[in-house]
Amino acid sequence: MKFVAFERAKQGTGASRRLRNTGRTPAIVYGGEGQPQLIELDHNALWHALKKEAFHSTILEMELNGKTSKVLLRDVQMHPFKQLVQHADFQRVDAKTRLHMKVPVHYVKAEESQAVKLEHCVVNTVISELEIACFPGDLPEFIEVDLSGLKKGMSLHLADITLPKGVTAVTHGKKNPVLVSVVTTVAEEAAPEGEAAAAAAAPAPEAKPAAKAAKK
């Protein structure tokens, strides 16, 4: 994705407030060999860009003074209750430096699994984004995970999936975290208990009256 940035001359709370009043958002670009650079962005363009998943998880092309450089969105500060982006941080991308980045996980084909289709279970998502390490050229927009093989009682762990080439997961000490688990629906769990309760509450069949003794 590509976006346009403009040089920002002034900094400070007052300058940033005045900038926001003109429909611009203050931002900064840091990292790499260059010094941190103050920039400003069109607020409406940034607001709409932030609604796109790729803007958060892919390498972006920033056009500044007619030159294009590669950056990553690192942080966004939002107003507590207004629909207003107050500040944004971007990091320059070096092709020879490994990145640590969180990327979304897209789960597909759950409805085709035995757990959902035949056993009427629900797939519970435990991890919706995964922190990874890779070189910029290997950074995926998202990681797709096929859930068509799920069965009742199963859990899918990180070790059960294949990550894209050049990508390793950063788990911060968790050896093999759970990605999704299969949960039995409440209705299914309650059914056997309900049947047992109904059977216990059912009145016992009435005893047939004993046949009268035959007259002598």
Looking at residue 22, which CATH number applies to its domain? 2.40.240.10
- Structural domain boundaries, residue 37: 2-92
Residues 125 and 65 reside in one and the same domain: no
Per-residue CA distances from 185 to 72, 117, 148, 179, 190 (Å): 41, 13, 18, 19, 9
Asked whether residue 202 is domain-assigned, the answer is: no
pLDDT given at position 204: 52
Count the domains in the chain: 2
pLDDT given at position 168: 96
The pLDDT > 70 percentage for the chain reads 86
The pLDDT > 90 percentage for the chain reads 75
Are residues 92 and 34 in contact, defined by beta-carbon separation less than 8 angstroms? yes
Are residues 116 and 110 in contact, defined by beta-carbon separation less than 8 angstroms? yes
**Mean pLDDT across the chain, nearest whole number?**
88
* Among 103, 104, 105, 77, residue whose Cα is nearest residue 90: 77
Residues 172 and 112 reside in one and the same domain: yes
